[in-house]
Amino acid sequence: MQPPVTPAPAGPFSPDEQAAVYRAIFTRRDVRSQFTDRPVDDPTLMRLLNAAHHAPSVGFMQPWNFIVIRSADVRAQVQAAFARANAEAVAMFPADRRPLYSALKLEGITTAPVNLCITCDRTRGGEVVLGRTHNRDMDLYSTVCAVQNLWLAARAEGLGVGWVSIFHEADIRSILNLPEHVVPVAYLCIGHVDTLYESPELQAKGWRDRLALSDLVFQDRWGNPPGPTVHNP
């Protein structure tokens, strides 16, 4: 027999707690080149994984798994897969953008002490999952929530995280021996950082600026201008 469900008290955090949450959000960065060589200890890593494991998931399916990668050999294979895909990616951009693209450091696979692949098991919960009956991709979206949870927890711990996405999926599947029903959602580099860019690195280096919030908010339907309370912070 299930124990009775007893709601817990709810309410806003204290001002200091609120400030800490928003600081983690606004100072989070995609880290590529600032990793130090200090190791990430197991208790800290487990706190990050536990934060990820407490992400929201549709139907409480919890579709994620976490592959912790410390092996130099495995990371070297992943680095080679990235290099092959990155060489292809350069040619996909207009000629005037290629020099800047080539100058950007886009991964920290071998310099970060820990690599982590967060996957999505598309069979978890069975054929019919509450909340997923009409949108099969809700498991993938749930797994991305786990990525964000881990990223914010890492920022609070003084750790940097970089998301490496320039791969052929088949290469990552082969290197990590992933089953067919498991999708690699995020390949992350994790390590201690002493400094971070004040703004996102791609913005700081001239790749792209942050879009204005007021241009992204509509009222009631697509294209309707927002109400008067929406402004750019």
Q: Does 154 score more than 80 pLDDT?
A: yes
Q: Are 109 and 189 in contact (CB under 8 A)?
A: yes
Query: Could you tell me the pTM of the whole model?
Result: 0.93
State the pLDDT at residue 100.
Answer: 85
Go through 166-179 and write b for each residue having 16 or more CB atoms within 10 A of its CB, e for each that does not: bbeeebbbebbebe
Q: Which fold has domain 31-126+135-195?
A: NADH Oxidase (3.40.109)
- The residues spanned by each domain of the chain are 31-126+135-195
Residue-wise pLDDT tens digits, 156-169: 999 999 999 999 99
Give yes or no for residue 175 having a pLDDT over 80: yes
